[in-house]
Structure 1
Amino acid sequence: MPADFSDLSRLERAKYFTANLFLRALIGLIGVIPYRWRIPTMGWLVSRVFGPLAGFDRRVRENLQLTCPDLPEEEVKRLCRAVADNAGRTVIELYAGQDFIDRAQAAAISGPGLAALEQARAEGKPVLLMTGHFGNYDAARAKLISLGHKMGALYRRMANPYFNAHYVRTISAIGTPMFEQGRRGMVEMVRHLKKGGIIAIVGDLHVQEGVPLSFFGQPAITSTVPAELAVKQKAVLIPVYAIRKPNGLDFEIVMHEPIPHGDPVAMTQQINDGLEALVRSHMDQWFWIHRRWKS
């Protein structure tokens, strides 16, 4: 649960403050390296140094053992490094400012969802874009904003309240409005949709109030709220993902077919299935470090 200042003891505040100083200093230090070297440098540091210390390898192994128990050991080892590398690149890209935005805006974009998005804009219909912790999901947001789509995004507050303030300012630089997950953010998001707006939601996290749906053949608690909201607000629901290209710096944006309105559970399962198929084609680009499958 994200921390609130009012709930923290002095010791907890000191720990969060110290961690924030370290992270800010690391980001600032890495930031002096030219972009084309900065991104792989951060990827290497997370995959070889910080990731193993933080328990990323253990988490990746546990998730793969649950969902892909037949993977050869060499592939598991490769994914432990590659998944953390992608996570490190994603983090530092968010703090790269215009350099990252330029890369995202230059990305090729394809898929049937693009025409559906353009049609919705022409007709003044609201749109819900569903994405996941894959590649760098903010690259898709930056690309679509560059095409003239004014879009908001729902985000989850960081556990560290000191770092959260800096994080929100950073992701807001890509585009606004930003809506914090929670009751107030939901109200603001619905207002945005009712005006014919576009919202981007990352939907592949464990949500306590969700329902058990299949993801990689295992029950994963998933929120059906986005699908329910799409049906209620008559919004077009389109999955969109940013695939990191082999050079590790550029992206390809793919917009899937819109999800037909119907039972929200079935709609959400269809989103899960589409993401799973994409992940199976790019196993190293999904955040296997997340606790996606909680008992």
Structure 2
Amino acid sequence: MRWRNEDFAVRYNLLFPLYAHLPPRLGYALAAHQAGFFRQQRTQEEAMIRSQMQGAFPDASAAQLDGWLNDYYRMVEQEALDTWYLQHQPINRIVELQGFEAIAQARREGKRVLLTGGHFGRFWMAGPAMRALGHTTGTITRDGGDENVHGLHPAEYRYRLFKLQRLQQALGGPFLVEGGDLRALYKALDDHLIALIFDVPYTEAHKGRVTANFINGTIDLPAGIYRIAKKTKAVIAPFFMRDRENGRVRAEFSALLDPDDFDETALMAALASQLEQRIRESPGHWWLWPALPLLRSNNNNESDR
């Protein structure tokens, strides 16, 4: 009988820790190079993503789809390597901030700020760059529990816990698990930036979703970001990451949104529109292609009854 340690993974236990001791340009190049190998092990996932991309962009050629998929799997490997680089390198060698001045000014004025985006690019890397300027960041996450409720491979689950630990150390703010006491979040907004990335709604009946136009169709989005901002009198700061090659990224912040100027449908529609713009510019940098069928509003009608 062949023995196998399920907690061991070549990527997490060997390759990424090794790359993290190299200069970022070289480390990220190696991560990008290995993307093709690990992509070959995910043929079913790749076919699903290709199908979703083709449905969203029916005029895309096979060559364009291949290029977007290359971008996607390169992003996956480089994002995993980010976990190790968080504490090994001066962050300004990897991340640049654009438009952050408005957020810094809002904090100087005593305003609460919620950061948000739509799972585009290596979005966690904005946090360490903001901390380098003196702004700690917390978040609400669906991960972090003591049990592997999502049924991940043991090595993957172990990596997720390690990643959350590293991120919390690097960002400096509280990490709250979704579904917990939100009073802790309201209090944290006084001292930290809080990131609440809008995500796929739960499949079970779930109040608080709104429908927005999105890439030749509509999607349902949870409106929690709007409701929390409204209750806590916080402004909302959308941001999206732009790949700058060689492992470097730029966090681009949009104009601040005041929830008092919108209803929840209008605000979520504005965020969806900003996300769609980024996806059209760089389709391979959106994480949620595999989940697009869950986002599409016509798949959620049954659970709303």
Alpha-carbon contact 1:132-1:203 (below 8 Å) kept: yes
- In the other structure, the counterpart of 1:90 is 79
Aligned to 1:8: none
Given the alignment of the two structures, is residue 174 of structure 1 paired with residue 173 of structure 2, yes or no? Answer: no
Q: 1:34 to 1:289 in 2, by over 3 A?
A: farther
- Asked whether the 8 Å contact 1:127–1:196 carries over to 2, the reply is no
The corresponding residue for 1:64 is: 53
Give the distance between the partners of 2:235 and 2:66, measured in 1 at CA. Answer: 40
Per-residue displacement from partner, 1:40-81 (whole Å, max 9, x unpaired)?
2222222x1212322342132121122111111110111111
In the alignment, what sits opposite 1:282? 282
* Distance of aligned partners of 1:148 and 1:250 in 2 relative to their CA distance in 1, 3 Å threshold: same
| Larger mean Cα displacement after TM superposition, 269-278 or 33-42 | 33-42
Q: Is the 8 A contact 2:242 2:249 kept in 1?
A: yes
Aligned-partner Cα distance in 2 for 1:173–1:253: 20
Do the aligned partners of residues 200 and 157 (structure 1) sit closer, same or farther apart at CA in structure 2, a change above 3 Å counting? same
- Cα 1:105–1:230, aligned 2, differ >3 Å: closer, same or farther? farther
Matches within 5 A, 1:1-295: 18-19=6-7, 21-26=9-14, 27-31=16-20, 33-46=22-35, 48-54=36-42, 55-99=44-88, 102-103=91-92, 107=96, 109-111=97-99, 114-157=100-143, 159=150, 160=152, 161-184=157-180, 186-193=182-189, 195=190, 197-208=192-203, 209=206, 210-245=209-244, 247-261=245-259, 262-287=262-287, 289-294=289-294, 295=299
* CA deviation after TM superposition for structure 1 residue 139, in Å: 2.0
Alignment partner of 2:292: what SS? coil
Shift of 1:100: 5.2
TM-superposed CA distance for 1:207, in Å, is: 4.0
Compare 202-211 and 220-229 and name the one that shifted more. 202-211
Contact persistence 1:140–1:241 (CA under 8 A): no
Mapped to 2, the partners of 1:179 and 1:257 lie a distance apart of: 25
Give the TM-score, by structure 1 length.
0.82
Amino acid at match of 1:139: M
**Deviation of residue 33 (structure 1)?**
4.8
Distance 1:254 1:80 in 2: 23
SS of corresponding position for 2:195: strand
> Contact 1:101/1:174 (CA < 8 Å) preserved in 2?
no
Question: Within 1, Cα distance between the matches of 2:22 and 2:234?
Answer: 43
Change (3 A) 1:239 1:231: same
Aligned-pair identity in percent equals 18
Unaligned 5+ runs, structure 2:
145-149, 300-305
- SS state at 1:211 partner: strand
Q: In 2, are the aligned partners of 1:31 and 1:96 still within 8 Å (CA)?
A: yes
Q: What is the Cα deviation at residue 291 of structure 1?
A: 1.1
Moved more, 263-272 or 156-165: 156-165
Asked if the contact 1:259–1:270 (Cα under 8 Å) also holds between the matched residues in 2, the reply is no
Q: Aligned with 2:77: secondary structure?
A: helix
Residue type at the aligned position of 1:276: E
CA shift in 2, pair 1:115/1:22, >3 Å: closer
Distance 1:230 1:82, change over 3 A: same
Q: In 2 relative to 1, CA 185–69 (structure 1 residues): closer, same or farther, beyond 3 Å? A: farther
Shift of 1:148: 1.5
Q: Which amino acid in structure 2 is aligned with residue 130 of structure 1? A: T
RMSD between superposed Cα atoms in Å? 2.6
